[in-house]
Amino acid sequence: MTADLVNRQVDVLVGVGGAISAQNAVKLSTTAIPVVFVTGGDPIKAGLVKSFNQPGGNVTGSVILGILEMEPKKFGLLRELVPGSRNIGAIIDLNFRASSQQLKQIKEAALKVSQHITVVNAGNDSELDDAFTMLAREQVSALLIASCPYFDTRQDRFIAFANKHHLPAMYHFREFADAGGLISYGPSFADAYRQAGAYTGQILKGAKPADLPVVQSSRFEMVINLKTAKSIGLTIPPTLLARADDVIE
């Protein structure tokens, strides 16, 4: 696909998403066409740019900071949402490149406060069905969904399961809360994508990628869906509600 776009002699290539290896493929496919990326990884370590301030070459873009370090924060917010939970469930995709880091973070956070957790793996639809069955059997009282690309494609299934079982569930992007999930905490992808669009526009007007510093997007947001809270019979603690960046009523 990249080769096809290069052959078409497009004016700018935009690579979005977390697959930094794919973005490397975009970079290596052309040194003449400007490339704009959005990533949650380190573009310097990946060889995409020389530095944040002086990217060099034909590549620049936007980095979403903290995406791989947010599971402990989500875990803490979930316990604050449902204090006294006997057993918190967590779903993780072990196929995801950052899953070992996420799993370690979640277990350490639970151990620190002596919280019992049930961690299940789901990397495809069949495993997701099994995970839901196990969580229901274990009678978890709250649910933490770890961040990963596969889970983003199964948004409706997560929300339907949690709401059917009246489970307070913590998601990683506001799009889950917008779609009917109870609460989300994570980076604002809209900010990062908007910056990529702005850079693309500047390049189309003649700017050089080497002159456009890599932007670090560090805005995190917590979104609470009060309609969902009411439907599952949950009262949101006032202290948590007051700290929300957005409340869906």
Minimal CA–CA distance to 167: which of 212, 110, 112, 228? 228
Can you tell me which residue has the tokens 């196990």?
134
Residue 4 is predicted with a pLDDT of 85
CB atoms within 10 A of CB 56: 11
Q: How far apart are CA 27 and CA 200, in angstroms?
A: 15
Regions of the chain short of the pLDDT cut 70:
17-29, 68
- The answer for residues whose C-beta is within 8 angstroms of residue 237's C-beta and 6 or more apart is 80, 81, 83
In angstroms, what CA-CA distances link 132 with 26, 28, 70, 233? 37, 41, 23, 21
pTM score of the predicted model:
0.81
pLDDT in tens, 1-32: 778 888 898 999 898 765 455 556 566 667 78
| Domain coordinates in residue numbering, the chain | 2-66+188-219, 67-186+221-248
* Cβ atoms 111, 84 nearer than 8 A: no
**CA-based torsion, 63, 65, 69, 74: positive or negative:** negative
Q: How far apart are CA 200 and CA 19, in angstroms?
A: 20
CATH fold group of domain 67-186+221-248: Rossmann fold (3.40.50)
Q: How far apart are CA 45 and CA 170, in angstroms?
A: 31
Residue 184 is predicted with a pLDDT of 97
CATH fold group of domain 2-66+188-219: Rossmann fold (3.40.50)
Residue 25 is predicted with a pLDDT of 58
Residue 24 is predicted with a pLDDT of 62
Residue 2 is predicted with a pLDDT of 78
Side chain identity at 14, as an amino acid letter? V
Following DSSP, what letter does each residue of the chain receive, concatenated? -HHHHHHTT-S-EEE-SS-HHHHHHHHHH-SSS-EEEEESS-TTTTTS-S-SS---TTEEEEEETTGGG-HHHHHHHHHHHSTT-S-EEEEE-TTSTTHHHHHHHHHHHHHHTT--EEEEE-SSHHHHHHHHHHHHHTT-SEEEE---HHHHTTHHHHHHHHHHTT--EEESSHHHHHTT-SEEEEE-HHHHHHHHHHHHHHHHTT--GGGSPPEEE--EEEEEEHHHHHHTT-PPPHHHHHH-SEEE-
Q: How far apart are CA 239 and CA 244, in angstroms?
A: 9
* Cβ atoms 41, 130 nearer than 8 A: no
Residue 202 is predicted with a pLDDT of 98
Token pair, residue 3, equals: 């080769």
Residue 61 is predicted with a pLDDT of 92
Residue 115 is predicted with a pLDDT of 97
